[in-house]
Amino acid sequence: MNSGGRHRRAAWIALPVALVVALLVVVLATRDSAFERNASSPILGGLAPPVVGLTVTGEPFDLDGWRGRWVVVNFFQSTCVPCIMEHPELVAFDERHSAAGDARIVSVVFDDTVENVREFFAAHGGDWPVLATGAREAAVAYGVTGVPESYLVAPSGVVVWKQLGGVTADGIDDVITRLSAAP
């Protein structure tokens, strides 16, 4: 076969491959947002696994001490781009609820250093506990496979929602409103 025939054959092979890649790009670009893709988990509907340890500031933390309010348990890493993108939303959620104290956030460090996390919060804001020690145990108990990953714990201590990917303040509030209104 001459080189012209090989080039035509390569073009006929490349064309379907390019079409498949283009279709994949369109599907990924038009899929639902991360918030709309909440996930199932074996811990949903059960009491929240322990989140216990020391925060990056050295303070003791125990999730059980926050019973009676909604709690977002957010697993994150300071260099994770989706974590960085969702952080202003967590700050907004915290600011909405801090005065009333009806909902709180605890972040759990996932495969990161305390120094990186301190620098991250200094640069991006946020005034809630960030668990450093005990983080690995919490990640295993919650079944975390990547970040960001968030769970919503009801005032009763039951895990009622899981989110893979970034969250929004309005989205979390919508879930709380919907679950609060349920019979």
- At residue 35 the predicted structure's pLDDT band, cuts being 50, 70 and 90, is very low
Task: Please state, in angstroms and rounded to a whole number, the distance separating the CA atoms of residues 167 and 87.
Answer: 9
List the end-to-end C-alpha distance of the chain, in Å, as a whole number.
Answer: 74
Mean pLDDT of the region 161-183: 94
* Residue 107, number of CB atoms within 10 A of its CB: 27
**Cβ contacts of residue 105 below 8 Å, gap of 6+?**
71, 72, 74, 90, 93, 94, 126, 128
| 1 has a pLDDT exceeding 70 | no
Cα 19 from Cα 175, distance rounded (Å): 39
- β-pairing, 60-62 vs 52-54, is antiparallel
pLDDT digits (tens, 9 = 90+) for 54-98: 999 999 999 999 999 999 999 999 999 999 999 999 999 999 999
Range of lowest pLDDT (8-12, 63-67, 89-93, 154-158): 8-12
Q: Using one digit for the tens of pLDDT, what is the confidence trace for 14-28?
A: 555 545 444 444 333
What percent of the chain lies above the pLDDT cut of 90?
75
Rounded Cα–Cα distance for residues 79 and 72 (Å)? 20
Paired strand residues for 61: 53
With CA atoms as reference, report the closest residue to 148 among 40, 81, 71, 75.
Answer: 75
- pTM of model > 0.75: yes
User: Six-digit token pair at 43?
Assistant: 């811990």
Nearest to 116 by CA among 161, 84, 152, 68: 84
Mean pLDDT of 9-17: 59
